[in-house]
Amino acid sequence: MEETKIQALTPSSPSFKNIFSKKPPRPSNLITHCHICHLQFSAIHKGYECSVCKKGICKEHILVRTAMTLLPVCDDCERGRIKKEIARELAPQYKSLKGDMNWMLKEKEKIKAEITGKTEIISRLEIQTKNNEKTYAQRLENIEKKIEEENQREKTVQNVVESLKNALNESKSSEEQMKKKKEDKEEEIKAEVEEIKELKRSEEDVLYKIDEINKEMRKMIPAGKLKSISCRKCYGVLKVNFKERLREALRNEGRESLFASLMSRASVKSTNDLVKPTMEPMTRQYCQQCMLL
């Protein structure tokens, strides 16, 4: 649609000169003022009649549609005409926009209903969230208490374990000491066993030597006869000399303890039964009484 050109009437405009040069129709005597600005018509302020609404208008409110138009039109009528033309041109758009607006209003109601529903859901969720927060806070508090109890129990268990470890270490230390003592005792027992074995071997050797001596002594003069052929003094000397030589022989072999054992086991008869005579007197002189030593 072409844009409507509106030209205002002024004393210098061509339209104003065409209108007033050709003397447009005057208003009737019933019209005494401009219906727009209410200006009273007079010889100075002339009035005119609108060709559309037939109302009086002054020079300031006369409009023409084109420069060649002779009929005056007031501002209100021209404005109304322009509005109608614009409304007629915009009717399809208005109808479309109204349909769009109705659709948008329906969508608005749907969205509003959705918002209301979602708001209710959010409210329920907020209430549930608050309840869950309280429940979870209580559970968290219970869990923290359990964790604290478990920590205390763990500390107690650690103390017990530490005590058991210390007891175990002490037990191991005691066990090692007992084991060491046992090994020492076993070594002592082994040494004593070896010593006993050695004593037994020594005893066997001594018994063997005694047996050998007895065999040799069978070839010697019997002690009873020696006693009869010797004086009492020489017999005592022989007896003491025999014991001293036996003790010296055992001492040289490191068996002094056997001497006492042999002396205790041997009877006075076995120790005095046979005595080997010697030609080496104690005083290197013969006895004047028995001529033996």
Is the pLDDT confidence value at 14 over 70?
Answer: no
Query: Confidence band (pLDDT; 50, 70, 90) for 36?
Result: confident
Is the pLDDT confidence value at 164 over 80?
Answer: yes
Which CATH number is correct for 7-71, 3.30.40, 1.20.1530, 3.40.50, 3.30.420?
A: 3.30.40
For 57, residues 6+ apart whose C-beta sits below 8 A from its C-beta are 34, 35, 36, 47, 48, 49, 50, 72, 74, 75
Q: Indicate whether this model's pTM tops 0.75.
A: no
What pLDDT, in 10s, does the model give residues 51-108? 778 788 887 777 764 444 567 778 788 888 888 888 888 888 888 888 889 999 999 9
Comparing 82-86, 128-132, 206-210, which segment has the lowest mean pLDDT? 206-210
Sequence length of the chain is 293
Report the pLDDT value the prediction gives residue 127, as an integer from 0 to 100: 92
In the chain, where are the structural domains located? Answer: 7-71, 220-293
For 26, 122, 133, 155, 157, the CA distances from 143, given in Å and listed in that order, are 103, 29, 15, 18, 20
Report the pLDDT value the prediction gives residue 291, as an integer from 0 to 100: 54
